[in-house]
Amino acid sequence: MPLIRVSMFPGRTEEQKRELVAELTEAFLRTCGGKREGVWVVIDEVPREHWAVGGRLSSEPRDS
């Protein structure tokens, strides 16, 4: 059972998530083979204030 885990900021529509999991599943099957029902996808929506890049919270304004 392959598991594809996606972490991203909240804000995508259900339709965007539906398309994302379909595309990820297809890419996995095309590349690695297997059965569609065996590919699991989990979407973790992480608030910006819980995510940091380069030592700064993503919720903080960035310098230009």
CA 60 to CA 33: how far, in whole Å?
42
CA 16 to CA 12: how far, in whole Å?
6
2 is catalytic: yes
Structure tokens at 4: 């594809």
Catalytic option among 2, 10, 47, 61: 2
Residues catalogued as catalytic: 2
